Structure 1
Amino acid sequence: MTVSVKICGLSTEDTLEAAIGAGADYVGLVFFPRSPRHVSLDRAASLAEAARGRIAIVALTVDADNALLEAIRERVAPDFLQLHGHEGVERVADIRRRVGARVIKAVKVGSPADIEAARIFEPAADIVLFDAPPPRAGDALPGGNGVSFDWTWLATAQPRPDFMLSGGLDPDNVRLAIATSGARSVDVSSGVERAPGVKDPDLVARFVRAAKHLEQVAAPAAEEDRHEPR
């Protein structure tokens, strides 16, 4: 099985080139001011221009208004919009029509019931992404927190097979996550950083190689530690 890899929260040319050079399939640009990975429209436009035609470009937004979505469409022209807020199914469908890009809808998974409830998005979204909720209620960041959920829930629920898995992934646990969940696509952000918002090109390359089974990696964590925050 070929696994697709998304490296999210890029902000520099060197980490963009690291992701492309390693063989990643998507790069994510974050438009959320409270995130340490936030990029301006100018910065995003420059990175998108360097990436275009070489890798799929994803613009991540959180409950964005139409003005921001239009600006992203005009300046960045992403291949995908990743909706990481509280967008309902009607809003997801509206954004997909309005922007003319494919849509990744992120869903927070705190229990198996959340996976079942996410089926409502399958007609409106091109990809449903399953992520862990923030570690504490009220945390400012909807993603990129370095925490995971129980991957066996996905294997049991069997959502649409093209789902994407995120949350707490890193080069050392991604292969276990794929084997446990059955994911064909994975998304990483904090797990390939040396500091919040600062991607490490070596970790990016290790993650891609591990996810795509191109190298041997360290033995997986013990069962009881598998879902500990990273």
Structure 2
Amino acid sequence: MTVRVKICGLTRRQDVQAAIDCGAHAIGLVFYPPSPRSVSMEVARELGSMIPAFVTVTGLFVNPEREFVEDVLKTVPLDLLQFHGDESPDFCRSFGRRWIKAVRVREAGQIEQACADYHQASGLLVDAWDPNHYGGTGQSFNWSLIPEQRPLPLILAGGLSSANVARAIEQVRPWAVDVSGGVEECKGKKDATKLSQFFKEVHRVCKTD
């Protein structure tokens, strides 16, 4: 089994470097001002310039205006768009970039429906439901709601840390895992030791490419 790792909500150069050194396959930059992990386009451009070949720079948006996404794309070297709000399939695919859609899971059948609705996505990210927040809650959800048959690559998020990522991989067998709060010293600032421990647990149960 091969599982890829995305580190999301990066805001500092040293955290980007630590994620790369640990072997991150993707980094996530948040373009959602209400989030404590949000970055300006200028900071994002600086962080993006650090990324070596074969590491994917992902831009996270929540119900953005089209003009905002277009402005970010002109400024920041993004490889992948992540839509974490209530965006329509037409909106998600309208930027001519690869994209993934996040789904906040709270009931059976929701993931299957999202796979059908967003079938042109490069992957489906499943996260915990919170009525007041679009991700970044640090909460997990009932993994038994994740179906065995998945038309899209499944990215598991929500409350992951070194304490549970091995169990999550063994139970869910995702395409990738996505972590933010579980490797932080405080919101927006990663902890190099927690990052290392997280990757160690991933490597313990699977191969990584």
Q: Structure 2 length normalisation: TM-score? A: 0.93
> Once structures 1 and 2 are overlaid, which stretch shifts more, 191-200 or 18-27?
191-200
Output the CA distance in 2 between the equivalents of 1:61 and 1:52: 23
Q: Which residue in the other structure is 2:140 paired with?
A: 148
Q: Which residue in the other structure is 1:133 paired with?
A: 129
Q: Which residue in the other structure is 2:113 paired with?
A: 117
Q: Which residue in the other structure is 2:163 paired with?
A: 172
Q: Which residue in the other structure is 1:104 paired with?
A: 100
Query: Alignment partner of 1:207: what SS?
Result: helix
Q: Is the 8 A contact 1:194 1:200 kept in 2?
A: yes
Query: Alignment partner of 2:134: what SS?
Result: coil
The one-letter amino acid of 1:113's match is: G
Q: Which residue in the other structure is 1:30 paired with?
A: 30
Are residue 3 (structure 1) and residue 3 (structure 2) matched?
yes
Query: Alignment partner of 1:213: what SS?
Result: helix
Deviation at 1:54, TM superposition (A): 5.1
Query: Alignment partner of 2:72: what SS?
Result: helix
- Which consecutive residues of structure 2, in runs of 5 or more, have no partner in the other structure? none
Query: Alignment partner of 1:51: what SS?
Result: coil
Can you list the C-alpha shifts for 1:133-157, whole angstroms capped at 9, x where unaligned?
12xx3x2x30110111111221x44
Instruction: State, as a whole percentage, how many aligned pairs show the same letter.
Output: 37
The one-letter amino acid of 1:196's match is: K
- Which consecutive residues of structure 1, in runs of 5 or more, have no partner in the other structure? 216-230
Output the CA distance in 1 between the equivalents of 2:203 and 2:108: 27
Query: Alignment partner of 2:111: what SS?
Result: helix
Query: Alignment partner of 2:101: what SS?
Result: strand
Query: Alignment partner of 1:210: what SS?
Result: helix
Give the RMSD, CA atoms, in angstroms: 1.6
Q: Is the 8 A contact 2:58 2:78 kept in 1?
A: yes
Q: Which residue in the other structure is 2:180 paired with?
A: 189
